[in-house]
Structure 1
């Protein structure tokens, strides 16, 4: 891909619109037939963090990705998405892994045109629009869609899924946003110094501990599945 799109957060001067397609917080815009996801560890409704609509020219053009995660429980082994074992660069992701590892988070992928603002969801994170700014600086160290990943540590790019489906780089957060809370939103449950779950003192949520995030997806034409990698 010879282009990318820088992600810029724009504080909303007006409320969320039904046709917003890339944004943080507020109400998700996902198909009406998709159930709002729940945590497989504690059963609580997952919190909606953000979604992006991949633009024309992106490997996932015409698709959107909405990211949900649990803010109601904290388990030491699931603070970040499960990692593959062995050599990570060029790895083959086993069949079934990309659905099974979504225990306390869920990534909903859908045709952008089929999304609807879900009035049955109560917002917890304050709404901010995301502007996608086209650029040919594919190696720039920015929050971006497409281009080339900027690894903090070693390259962990997977090669394939289920031995045959190529995996493509979708986006990265190398400066993850702070997800500020609505006034009546409950505090995020985190592990305290003694290793026990307790409410955070902060009035914002963190996605996967606030680590740098890299998203890879299956090649267009296959079932759209996402692999999330964190580095710190």
Structure 2
């Protein structure tokens, strides 16, 4: 079992610095060679939502995870990540799925030491620093890294990737997570009651409809990949 950390947003307004490794919004701190991802559905640059540097006692220590998603289009079939169709839990994720299911979002894993603030990305989500606060309660129902998932419905934890690589629980977001946006950011495109895309009236973005989010990783440091699923 991985150690558990509460994802606690800093209580005071702060500005992003080169030393920030775990945070919401601002500009991503990713390798210079890593392209800002583009949505495969509409071609727009994806929005940077957050990133986390995995702590010393984590299996992926030395690595960071940066999460992007498109806010410029809305498609009924792509509001949440593609789901596996077989019976869960303990499912085997087939070869290639963890790359191909990322059509209008992108989860990048990279060596933390290679990250630099990407000035070529225009900030959309307001920067907020994350403090990783250790907790002894692995079942704590909170936005957290490690510990045990707090399933809203049935256990849907995957078992393996490619029949042989174990999967393990990375982190979760509770329902209703809202990402406040900066003044210049365009509104998120949503579907109205008629099923037509239109700009949201809210000054925040939602990641995968702000459902409960569960992130799982491959227990393979040579090729770290992520499976994310939602419950509502």
Which of the five TM-score ranges fits, normalised by the shorter chain? over 0.9
Measure, in 2, the Cα distance between the counterparts of 1:158 and 1:207.
Answer: 21
Q: Which moved more, 1:44-53 or 1:218-227?
A: 218-227
Q: Give the aligned partner of residue 209 of structure 1.
A: 209
**Partner SS for 2:85:** coil
Following the alignment from structure 1 to structure 2, what is the Cα–Cα distance between the partners of residues 23 and 97? 28
Unaligned runs of 5+ in 2: none
The question of 1:18 aligning with 2:18 is answered yes
Cα drift, residue 35 of structure 1: 0.6
Aligned to 1:93: 93
Alignment partner of 2:26: what SS? Answer: coil
RMSD: 1.1
Contact 2:32–2:118 (8 Å) recurs in 1: yes
Q: Structure 1 residues 72-81 or 11-20, which shifts more?
A: 11-20
> What's the counterpart of residue 121 of structure 1?
121
Q: Is the 8 A contact 2:60 2:221 kept in 1?
A: no
Q: Measure, in 1, the Cα distance between the counterparts of 2:5 and 2:113.
A: 20
Q: TM-score, normalising length from structure 1?
A: 0.97
Aligned residues: 232
Structure 2 distance, partners of 1:54, 1:216, is 13
Moved over 3 A (4+): none
| Equivalent pair of 2:2/2:59 in contact (CA under 8 Å) | no
Q: Tell me, which stretches of 5 or more residues in structure 1 are unaligned?
A: none
Residue pairs, 1:122-161, within 5 angstroms: 122-161=122-161
More off after superposition, 212-221 vs 102-111: 212-221
What's the offset of the Cα at 1:220? 3.2
